Structure 1
């Protein structure tokens, strides 16, 4: 009997450990129940692998030209056919994944960092600081995003780097307003009031308490914003304001091939399909993350 009583605490602890599921594991289980979110995650991973392994997978260089093979239909030699310079479209789509994902990730990263900082400052300090920052956001949002991006690139000059900067700038208000609204609710919590009562500094409150508790909407918005950034980069490339030849950016590929729509439709179909699937993947994954991380969606 004494031995059984002695082992009871260990047995109870084991049962409790089995019943309590870690938050990350619970979130992953919830995410896995969403089949569309898993499809989105699969598409994103698929294109990331293609982008990373492009030099290994691509049968030709994205700059390799052979005019005698221009506008060839898809075949065993050229899976996606060739363009008007005889370049292999399959290889260019693979390398284009690198450019589009690079622009998407880093433009969103830049806009998220700046927008989050401005949103935290506006929401926490309020008053005239909030008024000035909010009015700046309102002015930026008053312009159509693509029009504002075109204006920025027109000032800086057409290039892939300037397109990235333009896309980052136009997405700053989206993150800023989202974070501001979250901070306005978080700063009213009791633990923030207690931190102020014991004399904790503003910087410590902002970056050790408010920011970590405001990350959920930033993660969800960031995932969805990558999809938007890829479309905006393609739009700028299509207008000739993004990546310049011979870089295989998907939007630029569409622009270069639009005159061959009837003669060689594959020159537009495959880059367009790559854009659609990549954007679809990020959107589905973002919706799944929102379902997992947003408490309102859980209810």
Structure 2
């Protein structure tokens, strides 16, 4: 009988003689040697580990969490409501009573900034969720159904991409009275096309995989195949598109509100505050710079998170270090 050349051969030989399984013997051998066998990690744990190694992504996560917390509890920290004016402090600079100062109408700027931050986040997250769902269903559906369905969906996408959607959004929301719900709905209706085009191209390769063909041969409906097989396998792309969608929505909402076509007083968003404060950058600079700083921190934090998610999900990326 030949002598085993290494520990692995000895382990298998021992297992064969004693009638035990090799994996169990390997565990016992590892314990005997004072070592612990390496356990396979799930994909989620692997992605989380790579994400944690990205310092900027961690910084963005902490910053974003602080901003969300500020949007939730910030209004309760101020003794003034965002729509409650202090007529004795018109355009007053920052003070212990008004931390960010006041506006020309006497409104507490800290209360308005935290409320505007929450309103902008609510719009951005709602639009990102809505556009991600629509683009995933239509993009994957066009790839799987093919034929006339694919032609109709792609024709609609290319048509909507060709027209100036920003002008259409501005025309529709101009008569909405500044209702943020209408603004959210319009941004969803005109914000899914580019993402759907990308998802369609990704789904074209996914539909050729064996598990999709097997589902078709087994009689699984195409809609169920989209939900159970195609969308989960492009989940990393959807996560990245979701985070990027938040940044894009915040930018669009701020631009519309800055032009007076988005959220309007007495309700406020970060764009509304920037529009109001832009005319007072010299006389009352705090009215502009506090909302501008909040908006900048928000977009930077989400951009860092998006980059971290992209690097964590990309096996070829070295930004997150070795996993």
TM-score, with length taken from structure 2: 0.84
- Higher Cα Rg: structure 1 or 2? 2
**Farther-moved stretch of structure 1 (119-128 vs 139-148):** 139-148
Instruction: Tell me the CA shift for residue 159 of structure 1.
Output: 2.2
Matched, 1:189 2:209: yes
User: Aligned residue for 1:168?
Assistant: 188
Tell me which of 272, 289, 293 is aligned to 1:273: 293
**Unmatched 5+ residue regions in structure 2?**
1-17
Secondary structure at 1:77's aligned position in 2? coil
Instruction: Tell me the CA shift for residue 12 of structure 1.
Output: 6.0
User: Aligned residue for 1:111?
Assistant: 131
**Farther-moved stretch of structure 1 (240-249 vs 193-202):** 193-202
Instruction: Tell me the CA shift for residue 123 of structure 1.
Output: 1.1
Structure 1 pair 2–241 and aligned structure 2 pair: CA distance change class (3 A): closer
Matches within 5 A, 1:119-134: 119-134=139-154
CA distance in 2, matches of 1:226, 1:82: 29
CA distance in 2, matches of 1:249, 1:65: 17
Contact 2:144 2:222 in 1 (8 A): no
Secondary structure at 1:204's aligned position in 2? helix
Instruction: Tell me the CA shift for residue 286 of structure 1.
Output: 0.7
User: Aligned residue for 1:210?
Assistant: 230
TM-score, with length taken from structure 1: 0.91
Contact 2:258 2:275 in 1 (8 A): yes
Secondary structure at 2:95's aligned position in 1? coil
CA distance in 2, matches of 1:294, 1:148: 36
Contact 2:137 2:226 in 1 (8 A): no
CA distance in 2, matches of 1:248, 1:13: 63
**Unmatched 5+ residue regions in structure 1?**
none
Instruction: Tell me the CA shift for residue 178 of structure 1.
Output: 2.0
Contact 1:124 1:184 in 2 (8 A): yes
User: Aligned residue for 1:226?
Assistant: 246
Instruction: Tell me the CA shift for residue 10 of structure 1.
Output: 4.5
Tell me which of 84, 88, 92 is aligned to 2:104: 84
**Farther-moved stretch of structure 1 (40-49 vs 145-154):** 145-154
Instruction: Tell me the CA shift for residue 145 of structure 1.
Output: 4.6
**Farther-moved stretch of structure 1 (242-251 vs 52-61):** 52-61
Matches within 5 A, 1:212-291: 212-291=232-311
Secondary structure at 2:65's aligned position in 1? helix
Instruction: Tell me the CA shift for residue 152 of structure 1.
Output: 3.1
Matched, 1:98 2:115: no
Structure 1 pair 243–17 and aligned structure 2 pair: CA distance change class (3 A): farther
Count residues in correspondence.
Answer: 298
